[in-house]
Chains A and B, each alone.
Chain A
Amino acid sequence: MVKSSKIIATLGVAAGLGIALLPLASHAVTGEEEVQVEVNEVFNFSVESFKAASTTAEINKVAMDRGTTNEELEHRIKADGNYSAGYVLTMSADHSYLLGEATSKQIPSISSTATALPTAGTVQANGHGWGYRVTDTAASGSSATLLGDYSGKDYNDIPTGNGDTLRAADTAARSASFDETKYVNFGIVTATDEVADTYKATITYTATPTAYNG
C-alpha cells in the first residue's frame, strides 16, 4: 500500500510537472508569427481547337467533299483565376472568308441577314459559305444548345475588325461567370464546283476583364 501510494504520488508529481511544462514548451515551439500573403489578381485564358463531340483535343482541320456540310470544327474557350468581376469575350477573324492557300479562292461568310448555312449540294453561285455560333457543350449540328442573343439564327456571319462579343444566355450579362467554358462551333458548306484546296482563316479570341459586374 505504501509502495503504491508512492508510485501514485510520483506519477502525480510527474504529471503535474508535465502539465506545468506544457504551456512553456508549447510557447517555445510555436510562438506567434505574423504571416503575410500577397494575393494578386490573376486572369487566365485559354483557347483549344478540337473536333466537336470529341473529348480529345486535336488539330483543327477537316477534309470535306464538294457539296457537303461540316459542323465539327470547334474552339473551346475558358477563363480562370481569381478575378472576381468576370470577363467579356470577343471573337474576330482576319477576314470574313476562308481563303484557299494555293488558289486564293474564297468560301465566303454567310451574310449578316442570313440565319442558317446554305443548303449543300449546289454550285458556288447558288450558295456556299461558313458561319459560327456559340454553344454550351461540345456538340455538332442540331444537337448543340445555342447561347447568347442568337435567337432565330442557327448560324451567324463571321465578324472581322473589332469582332463580335460572345454573350452568355442572358444577353444583358456582359461578364461571364468565372470558370465558364464556351464553345464556338463553325459550320462550313462547300459547293459542288468548289475548287480543291486547303481553305484557312485565323480566329482571334480576346478576353477582357470587366470593370462592371452587373
Chain B
Amino acid sequence: MDDEVVSIGVSKGIEKIELSPGEVYSGEFDILNLSKTKSVSFAVKISPYSVDDETYDANFYDRDDYNQIVDWTTVDTPSGELMENERKTISYQIVVPETAPAGGQYLSFLVEVKNDESKEKTLSLSTKSRVASILYASVAGETVEEIEILENNINIFNLDHPVEVSSLVENKGNIHTPAEYILRVYPLFSNQEIYSNEETPVENTLLPETVLFSKKTWDETPRLGVFRVVQEISAADSYSSRERIVVACPGWFLFLCLLFVFSLIFWFIMRVRERKNIIKNY
C-alpha cells in the first residue's frame, strides 16, 4: 500500500453471533489507520444490511424484519481520530428485547473516513471511503432452516473458457444458512478424479428469504477435452447432485469439426446421387 494513501482497515469483515431475547450482548472490533504519515477522522455508523437480487448486491439502506437489530445496537465511539498506524477498539452493545423475533438479524458497522475538510474546497470529486464490518446474529427461538435448490446447471459446451457450473439456491427460512458447493471432474471413461474442491469447497451463507446465484469454474480446464463433471450442492436438509458430459475446446476447433461433418455429409449425398445416375444411365 502506498504510504501517502489513506488506508483504513477493520479486524473483522464478518462476525456471526448468537443472541437470546432479553440478553445484553457486548462485542468489539478494531479499526486501523494503515497510513504511516497521515492521521484520519473516522465515523462509525450502524446501518441495516441486506442483499438485492440473485447477485447479492449489498444494501445498507432498506429496512425489513431482519434489520431490527439496528435499533438495539449502540457503539461507544461513534467518531474520533486515528493517528498514523493507530489501532483502536470499538465496543458495541446490543440490548435484545424480550419480544425479539427468532431467526436472523443483520447490520453493518460502516467505518467511514472523513475527507480533509481544508482540501474539500478544492476538489471537484471528493471521496469518502467506507469499510463495512457485517454482523450476522441468530436470535434463539423458533428458527427455521429451509433451503430449496432451484437450479443445478453444468455447461455442456465450453468454448474458449473454463468448464463452468452454476446454481440458484433459495433460503425460505428465517435464518442465515450455509450452503456448500463441490465440483468434481473425471475423465470420460474413468473414475479417477482430475479435479475436486472437496477439501476446500465453495461456501456461501444465504440470508433468509433470498435467492443466490452462484457460479464456479474449473480454472485448469485444458484447451481440448471431454470430461464428466459433477456438481454437488448441500444446504440444510437439501441436496442436489448433477452429472454431465462436457466438452472443452477452442471455438475454431468446433468450427473445423462441424465443417468436417458437413463436408462428410455433402460427400455422402453426392456419392449417392452419383450412383443413382450410374444406375439410371445403365
- Give A residues with C-beta under 8 Å from B: 40-49, 57, 59-62, 73, 75, 78, 80-81, 83, 85, 87-88, 90, 98, 161-162, 165, 170, 172-174, 186, 198-214
Contact = CB atoms under 8 A, between A and B. Distances in A.
Nearest to A214: B202
Contacts of B55: 165, 172, 174
Interface of B: 1-2, 4-14, 30, 32, 34, 52, 55-62, 108, 110, 112, 115, 119, 122-134, 136, 166, 176, 181, 202-205, 212-216
Given A201-B125, A209-B134, A40 B11 contact: yes
A contact face: mostly helix, strand, loop, or mixed: strand
A189 to B, nearest CB: 14
A61 B8 CA distance: 24
A44 B10 CA distance: 7
Given A42-B9, A209-B14, A214-B216, A200 B126 contact: yes
A205 B203 contact: no
A41 B12 contact: yes
A57 B38 CA distance: 15
Contacts of B9: 42-45, 81
A203 B127 contact: yes
Contacts of A211: 14, 134, 136, 176, 204-205
Nearest to A186: B125
Contacts of A81: 9
Nearest to A74: B125
28 contacts: A40-B12, A42-B9, A43-B131, A43-B133, A46-B6, A47-B129, A60-B126, A85-B14, A162-B52, A162-B58, A165-B57, A172-B213, A172-B215, A199-B124, A202-B115, A202-B125, A204-B128, A204-B129, A206-B58, A206-B110, A206-B131, A209-B13, A210-B56, A211-B136, A211-B176, A211-B205, A213-B204, A214-B216
Nearest to A170: B215
Nearest to A203: B127
Given A61-B123, A186-B125, 14 more contacts: A40-B30, A46-B6, A60-B124, A88-B57, A88-B58, A161-B61, A162-B58, A173-B215, A198-B124, A208-B58, A208-B108, A208-B134, A214-B181, A214-B203
A188 B190 CA distance: 59
A66 to B, nearest CB: 16
B85 to A, nearest CB: 13
A45 B1 CA distance: 10
Contacts of A165: 55, 57-58
A202 B136 CA distance: 30
Contacts of B58: 88, 90, 162, 165, 206, 208
Given A43-B131, A208-B108, A59 B122 contact: yes
B214 to A, nearest CB: 5
A42 B7 CA distance: 12
